[in-house]
Chain A
Amino acid sequence: MAWRKRREIGKAGWGWTGFAGIISFIYFFPVLWIILTAFKSNADVLSVPPKFLFTPTLENFVSVFRRSYIPGQAAVDTGFDLFFFNSIYIAGTSVALALVIGTLAAYGFSRYPLRGNDTYMFIILTTRMLPPIIVIIPIFLMFRLAGLSGTYTGIIALYTAFNLPFTIWMMKSFFDELAPDIEDAGRLDGSSERRVFFKICLPQVRAGLAATAVFGLILTWNEFLFALLLTGIDTRTIPVAMAQTIGGDIGVRWGLLAAIETLFLIPVIVVVFALQKHLLRGVTFGTIKR
């Protein structure tokens, strides 16, 4: 591993490697700052000039899940374990649903074009053109009337609908790039259309699925506006819960907030690292001429 890294640095040259390191550090600094803050005591958080060397404490992480709201009273559950579950459940389910529906739709649009295929694709895209805030009132009312406010079903359905256009467009471009000969070969080798899709096409667009999933997850994971209005106490997601933590009688508890953010970051990092092999191929797909 070490020799390999060294060889890659050798390829790029130490100058470029250093330069890339500095740029990365500038970009990563806010994240690093948040992570450091999460481990500081309240006094260290507020100290001027800021401290880089301090005694780390897990106090903030404990109070994410259990703390006393009124000074002097016993600590109670904050419900953040549920909110984390909600975020993971809602984002995961809606992205998975969007991938399943969107990939099938994209395959259809790519392989069995309808009369006016481009028009349909454009209409699908237009659903993403409106700033969400414009449609929030009708959607809110619709959810109220349909009894979907505050339910998992409601917010998952909404996020799935949000992710679908992007998924369809992404996956269609991946399917368009595949050589149709390979599918024909599958048909001649006795494969049904279903087998052609699952055994031949789908494995070839794994990178696309990974990239689309990551983009969708990040979008859904961060979504605040609709979550604020359409989730209830039981279905609240982290971004909303985080915002509600900011207020308080004793000012903003930066250390606590930083701890939530650090925890909030972990699933994103896990997913990106798990899929990084596909991700680079996925996001550069189609940009390199074959």
Chain B
Amino acid sequence: MSTIALHNLTKRFGTLTAVDDIDLEVSAGEVLCLLGPSGCGKTTTLRMVAGLETATAGDVVIGGERVNHLTAAQRNVAMAFQFYALYPSLTVADNLAYPLHAEPIAEAERDRRVAQVAEVLELTHVLRRLPGQLAEGEKQRVSVGRAIIRDPNCFLFDEPLSRLDVQLRETMRGQIKEVLSNLKKATVIVTHDQFEALTMADRIAVMRDGVIEQVASPHDIFAKPSNIFVASFIGTPQMNLIPATILEPTQGVSNFDIGSQHIAIALKHRLRPGDRITLGIRPRSFELVAQQGPETILADVDLIEPMGAETLFHLAMQDHELRVVVDRARRASVGERLAVRFRPEHTHIFDANQQLMQP
């Protein structure tokens, strides 16, 4: 079975702990994205799976077998690198055929597989070229092709799309997803791009400072971020995070003091008056209403950014800024005062330890 499991995996470089005691499982056919900002340890984790770094502590288990002692060559994993790492002195065809050298197969069979992979990835017309003569997108496809040409235990991708332009990235995202779904292997993709993660992954593991903050499906990670870091890292524009103090509830409706204003939201959470919490609301989860009420706050339009189908309003309250995305049909002018309603079903509450509170 093609699976990956990491148990208490740790990597230290001198005094720096790059990866701190992480546990992770990827089942066969599953695509897991390691997502996080630069330097969070995601690439180091990937390299430990590949066998390019040795773990300081913990185990890497591939296909049910502990592989800590095996070299990269012995682990039979395929990896596509961020900078493609194509062999510059070999043609595209030879690059694709390279991983097959270890397998005892006939030349005809090797050529057949090269041709097959080249066709899937639309590389047939560049097979005789050297990597230096390829366009960025073609290089990327060669690196993917080199990974899928043999039958490895699992696939690893290190920032596979980061060097492509936006349009190409969209096409390749779909293409890679399609290729991977036919392969039924455990796959780990490292990325700092949340769109890549959200669109390609079956599950996402969000990392920060060597620690996995949350592992969940793309839907859950967006809808139920387990803490403030994940909440602010996923989703653009960023989630609004408003510090608030809980007030006495009135008729089952929670009241919050958010500095200059009070707001009432009908939440099912068990809230203790006096506690300090953080309200998290995505920019698309607000409602602009005509009339001011206890469920609304007032804010002035500070900046308007048209984003195409939608428009982003930066609203200024006395002590914070709110980012609100509205339909492009909704017009407003700078300085205008708007009433904004918090929708209870879309309002996240984070406790004083920055963790999500369950209703």
Residues of A at under 8 Å CB distance from B? 179, 181-182, 184-192, 195, 200, 203-204, 206
- Partner of A188 from B72, B83, B88, B90 at Cβ < 8 Å: B72
Contact call B99/A189, Cβ cutoff below 8 A = yes
Binary contact track B64-108/A, C-beta < 8 Å → 1, others 0: 000000011101111101110111111000000011011000000
Contact call A189/B76, Cβ cutoff below 8 A = no
Contact call B88/A204, Cβ cutoff below 8 A = yes
Indicate if B185 sits at the interface (CB-CB under 8 A): no
Chain A residues within an 8 Å CB radius of B50: 184, 188
A/B interface sample: 19 pairs, CB < 8 A: A179-B83, A179-B85, A181-B83, A182-B88, A184-B50, A184-B85, A185-B79, A185-B87, A186-B98, A187-B71, A187-B72, A188-B51, A189-B98, A189-B99, A189-B101, A190-B73, A191-B73, A191-B102, A204-B88
Chain A residues within an 8 Å CB radius of B303: none
A204 to B130, CA, bound (A): 13
- Partner of A190 from B81, B90, B99 at Cβ < 8 Å: B99
Nearest opposing residue in chain B for A189, CB measure = B99
A99 to B243, CA, bound (A): 68
Indicate if B120 sits at the interface (CB-CB under 8 A): no
Contact call B52/A184, Cβ cutoff below 8 A = yes
Indicate if B146 sits at the interface (CB-CB under 8 A): yes
A220 to B264, CA, bound (A): 89
Nearest opposing residue in chain B for A202, CB measure = B89
Contact call A190/B101, Cβ cutoff below 8 A = yes
Contact call A182/B72, Cβ cutoff below 8 A = no
Query: Which of B79, B85, B98 is most buried by chain A, counting CB atoms within 10 A of its CB?
Result: B85
A206 to B82, CA, bound (A): 25
Contact call A182/B86, Cβ cutoff below 8 A = yes
Nearest opposing residue in chain B for A196, CB measure = B73
A182 to B90, CA, bound (A): 12
Q: Give the distance to chain A from B195, nearest Cβ to Cβ, in Å.
A: 24
A195 to B81, CA, bound (A): 20
Contact call A186/B77, Cβ cutoff below 8 A = no
Q: Give the distance to chain B from A201, nearest Cβ to Cβ, in Å.
A: 10
A211 to B174, CA, bound (A): 46
Chain B residues within an 8 Å CB radius of A192: 73
Chain B residues within an 8 Å CB radius of A200: 87
A195 to B50, CA, bound (A): 18
- Partner of B89 from A184, A188, A191, A204 at Cβ < 8 Å: A204
A187-B52, A192-B73 given; 9 more Cβ-contact pairs under 8 Å: A181-B82, A181-B83, A184-B50, A184-B79, A185-B81, A186-B87, A187-B72, A188-B52, A189-B98
Q: Give the distance to chain B from A238, nearest Cβ to Cβ, in Å.
A: 36
Chain B residues within an 8 Å CB radius of A186: 87, 98
Query: Which of A190, A203, A204 is most buried by chain B, counting CB atoms within 10 A of its CB?
Result: A190
Contact call B87/A188, Cβ cutoff below 8 A = no
A127 to B72, CA, bound (A): 39
Q: Give the distance to chain A from B96, nearest Cβ to Cβ, in Å.
A: 11
Chain B residues within an 8 Å CB radius of A195: 101
Q: Give the distance to chain B from A288, nearest Cβ to Cβ, in Å.
A: 14
A187 to B88, CA, bound (A): 16
Contact call B86/A184, Cβ cutoff below 8 A = no
Q: Give the distance to chain B from A108, nearest Cβ to Cβ, in Å.
A: 18
For the complex of A and B, the 7 pairs showing the least CB-CB separation, nearest first, are A190-B102, A203-B89, A181-B85, A189-B99, A185-B85, A187-B72, A182-B85
Chain B residues within an 8 Å CB radius of A179: 83, 85
A97 to B304, CA, bound (A): 71
A267 to B72, CA, bound (A): 46
Chain A residues within an 8 Å CB radius of B85: 179, 181-182, 184-185
Chain A residues within an 8 Å CB radius of B98: 186, 189
